[in-house]
Amino acid sequence: MAVIVPVYNHGRTVREVVRAALALGWPLFVVDDGATDGGTAGLEAIPGVQVLRHPVNRGKGVALQTGFQAAAEVADWAITLDADGQHDPQDARHLIAAIPAGQRPIVVGRRLRMAGEGAPWTSRFGRGFSNFWIRMAAGPRVTDSQSGFRIYPLPETLALGVRAQRYQFEIEVLVKAAWAGLPVIEAPVNVRYFGAERVSHFRPFVDFCRNTGTFARLITRRVFF
């Protein structure tokens, strides 16, 4: 098992995320996706942490793929979690416990209390939008398709040929997993929101358009090819 944390200007939170993730006891890969805030400076000096750097911002999907390729050299599975502090890395053990014996699924952390006070409306809307269109693209029936807290079986995931480079990677990978017969399951995890202090790079209009383009591509391929 390895842990992957993609980072883009999360300097206020990434060090605490790294500290908590190291307590799991597995190799930790921090992927600095062209950050400009200097937040990952010095992290490579921490035992157990390897920092991978993109010279410019290339998108979360590319950052995850960079992490997968590095992690695959030392592990067969990867846990991914966001650098904004919304996840408790210890919940990774709940995701592991959900894996059925003898199976190699993608495990999605279903965030609890997503409809509660403090949860951004953009997250609630985006989740519902993605859940619906994933089903329309013949993907799995999931309730939190935009959660970044996941476990991936590395060889199977790298073989899926996911094209999306930004947030849409986490949507496309679920659809292509279903097409390939790779199971997708969910397990509950906690989530924390911090109001104005939370750093999010989700842009409702731009990402809505990108999501729409991804779904159009997937549905077209499913129907006509």
How does pLDDT run across 158-201, given as a tens digit for each residue? 999 999 998 899 999 999 999 999 999 999 999 987 654 545 55
52-56, 151-155, 219-223: which has the minimum mean pLDDT? Answer: 219-223
The secondary element (H helix, E strand) that includes residue 2 is strand 2-7
Classify strands 77-80 and 150-153 as parallel, antiparallel or unpaired: antiparallel
**pLDDT for residue 92 is more than 90:** yes
Query: Greater confidence, 148 or 122?
Result: 148
Instruction: Write out the two tokens for 123.
Output: 């997250």
pLDDT at 46 over 70: yes
Domains located in the chain, CATH noted? 2-224 (3.90.550.10)
Query: What is the per-residue pLDDT for 138?
Result: 85
What six digits make up the tokens of 177? 């997993």
pTM of the predicted model as reported, rounded to 2 decimal places = 0.86
The DSSP secondary-structure symbol of 89 reads G
- The pLDDT of 125-139, averaged and rounded, is 81
Whether 116 has a pLDDT exceeding 60, the answer reads: no
Question: Looking at residues 101-106, what average pLDDT do you find?
Answer: 97
Q: Which residue has the tokens 């190799």?
A: 27
- Please, which residues have CB within 8 angstroms of residue 32's CB and are 6 or more apart in sequence? 7, 8, 40, 51, 52, 53, 54
Determine the pLDDT at residue 120. Answer: 59
Q: Is 150 helix (H, G, I), strand (E, B) or coil?
A: strand
| Greater model confidence, 34 or 203 | 34
Residues whose CB is less than 8 angstroms from the CB of residue 170 and which lie 6 or more positions away in sequence, other chains included: 60, 61, 64, 145, 146, 147, 148, 150
More confident residue, 73 or 211: 73
Residue 21 is predicted with a pLDDT of 97
